[in-house]
Chain A
Amino acid sequence: MTSISGPVVVLLTVLQWAGRGLPSPVRPICDPRVLDRFIMEARDTETALRGCKAGCGVTGTYVVPLTNVDFVVWETKDTEEQALEVQSGMSLFGQALGAVRESVSRVAVQILIDNNKSNIHSLGQVLRSLHIQDLPLPPAPAVGDLVTRKVSSLSELLHVHTNFLRGKVRLLLTNAPACQQNST
């Protein structure tokens, strides 16, 4: 017994290390319908909470990224820079939605916010599948940064979130090199 269990233990240990360290190969998610689904859900959340009275009880200001895209300018940026913009923006949204989640009391609103937060997390997975490395989060952008701005209501937060997904995130995903190689 001991003679058999010894090598087995060693083997299992090695496998465990391998499982931790080595990144599992993930097939690139290039289907635009994946992001389309996230966009539609974000839009539905925005629509649902637009009529929320008193901002659904949400007070405070939240830092959100800028969503404007100038194609001429965008095309001058390389993929990494684009990815950086996207990922930093996504993290900002994650933080903001987390803070909102804590301040809302209505269960229905909480469900919607949770859904959006999970979508943001899934988007991170999608980006990772496109070999867009997780860049270290930049330091918390200060107010007045060119790339961020402040919002003070939940509806505006969600609106910005939707616009961000429709714009920069989508542009990044549809033009990811991993997807371009598959199509060409």
Chain B
Amino acid sequence: MTNNNLNKLLVFCVLFCAQKTSIVHGAQALETKVALLLHAEPENPKCFAEGMSDLTCFWEEDEERAGSADQYSFIYTYQNENSSECSVTALPAAGGKRLYFCRLSQTQLFVPLDIRVFRDELLIHNRSLFIELVFLLDPPANLTLTSTGTQGQLKASWLPPSLKYMGDSMMYEVSYTMAGSHIGKVEEVQASSELILRGLQSGTKYKVRIRVKLDGISYSGYWSTWTDPVLMETMPGDLDPLIVSLSLIISLVLTLLSLLVLMSHRRFLLKKIWPIIPTPESKFQGLFKVYVFASLEYETRYEEWLGHSTGGLWLRPAYFYSEEFPAPLEVLSEVSLGPALPSSALPPKASEALGEEDEDEKLKRVDSALMEGWRETPQEHWPMDQLRAIHQHPAPWTQSSLLESHDAYVTLNAQNHSGEEPLDDILEETLPLQVLFASGRTSSESRSDLGSFQQSSGLGRLSSQSSFEYPNHTWPPKGPGYTYMAVADSGVSMDYSPMSSSKIDDIGKGVIYTNEYKNEIPAHRRPIGTPIHFAF
């Protein structure tokens, strides 16, 4: 007995609570709908149907003018029927207003309905409507989002309002936005309970909501309220092939551009990465140049010159090579000093030491050549004879390429020296080297830079002595009168002095115009193994 009572009480409580919940829920829904209609419907009273056989009408009045519900009478009349009255209820509303409701539980559709509202016998509202045209449904329930298996798609499904006969008249509006964004899209669908949203971004969270309305052909009404939004993330996207291809193209273009820039600035970059070992070449113009001897043009001229001469046995050592237009180097022996030593002709070029490493060898070659020349003692006057012979034919000789090529003549002087002695023992003071520079050019162009060419080093074998050491007039007879220049090259400076063979015989006659040119470098700075340099 007690258990039964307790059970009944329990059941009653549960039902009551459930009902209360539903009532509360219903009240909230009503409140929402009222607010919606107050905004959407201009006419009074505002009426809406929620189901197949109901109609709810209400109107709003200010608190000041509002009366009790008894003061109002709600009269409704269907077409061709008698009038009926609905009981009015009042509810407080926000903003100092009052709402008066009337609810019909049995309705007729597809027939005009006249509504009149009286307040104390005074007609305040009058309206004629079709009930099937004022539907305000509850929003769809059970809105769910699922993945379709395809990228950028979501499937929204819902439960349509359970209204008989109206399933195919319902129209839905689905609103979807990216989570966090305010800009959304809307899609409409009719008489369906699901919709596939396409064109969505991959790997993005979307917020979807839906509302319902009757399509307006047979039934019509107002848009329902939106459902609570449902969130769902779309499938993570694969790399868009277009984006991948564009990225590849852009990276390729950037690579090509960087390569172009590198190539155009490769010298600069190489200098930075592999700096060039500085050499003093730039400081001493032409000092370290190597003249290539194998110049056809020069050889031609040399042959020419040889042809003009009376066939002297000019030694043409192949040791010296001139890079540029080479000048023949003729070594003449000095007569006045000591035993006359033949000078070995070095018609070819003045040798230029190619750097410090080759200079030693070249000087050795020069030494050997000179030695050969020295040994030809009986031919000590032979070069002079040559010159004399040449001078006798000044025209061809002057026109010869020899002069044009600015041949240089080097004289070797030996003091107290026997040809047998190796050069190694020869001190520089005992082997002055004089360079005679014969130029076909005007004296103004020529440079008379006298200086002494002395080498002081273990490597240096040659030494020259300035012609200053020899008075001009004591210069050994060179031949018939012709002007020549004595050049003394110290390797860092060149001394030129115009000479005239005519002065030997006729000293004092004639004037030799000279232009002094000094190019002196302090002795301690003389490079080791100073080569001979001729600039033309």
Contacts and interface: CB of A to CB of B under 8 A. Distances in A.
Interface of A: 32, 36, 39-40, 66-72, 149, 163-164, 166-168, 170-171, 174-175
A170 B218 contact: yes
Interface residues of B, number: 19
B111 A174 contact: no
Contact of B218 (A39, A70, A175): A39
A163 B110 contact: yes
Label chain A's interface by main secondary structure: helix
B107 interface: yes
Contact of B109 (A32, A36, A71): A71
B218 A71 contact: no
Interface of B: 52-53, 78-80, 106-111, 130, 132, 164-165, 168-169, 217-218
A67 B80 CA distance: 11
Contact of A36 (B107, B110, B130, B218): B218
Contact of B80 (A39, A71, A149, A175): A149
Contacts of B169: 32
Nearest to A37: B217
Contact of A67 (B53, B110, B164): B110
A174 B109 contact: no
25 contacts: A36-B217, A36-B218, A39-B218, A66-B111, A67-B110, A68-B109, A68-B111, A69-B110, A69-B111, A70-B109, A71-B164, A163-B110, A163-B130, A164-B110, A166-B110, A166-B132, A167-B109, A167-B110, A167-B111, A167-B218, A168-B110, A170-B165, A170-B218, A171-B165, A174-B165
A69 B217 CA distance: 16
Contact of B165 (A39, A70, A175): A175
Contacts, number: 54
Label chain B's interface by main secondary structure: loop
B238 to A, nearest CB: 41
Contacts of B111: 66-69, 163, 167
Contacts of B164: 71
Nearest to B112: A163
Contact of B107 (A39, A70, A171): A70
Contacts of A40: 217
Contacts of B109: 68-71, 167
Given A149-B80, A167-B218, A170-B165, 12 more contacts: A36-B217, A68-B110, A68-B111, A69-B109, A69-B111, A70-B106, A71-B109, A71-B164, A72-B106, A164-B110, A166-B218, A174-B165
Given A40-B217, A166-B132, A174-B165, A70 B110 contact: no
A66 B80 CA distance: 9
Given A68-B79, A149-B80, A170-B218, A32 B110 contact: no
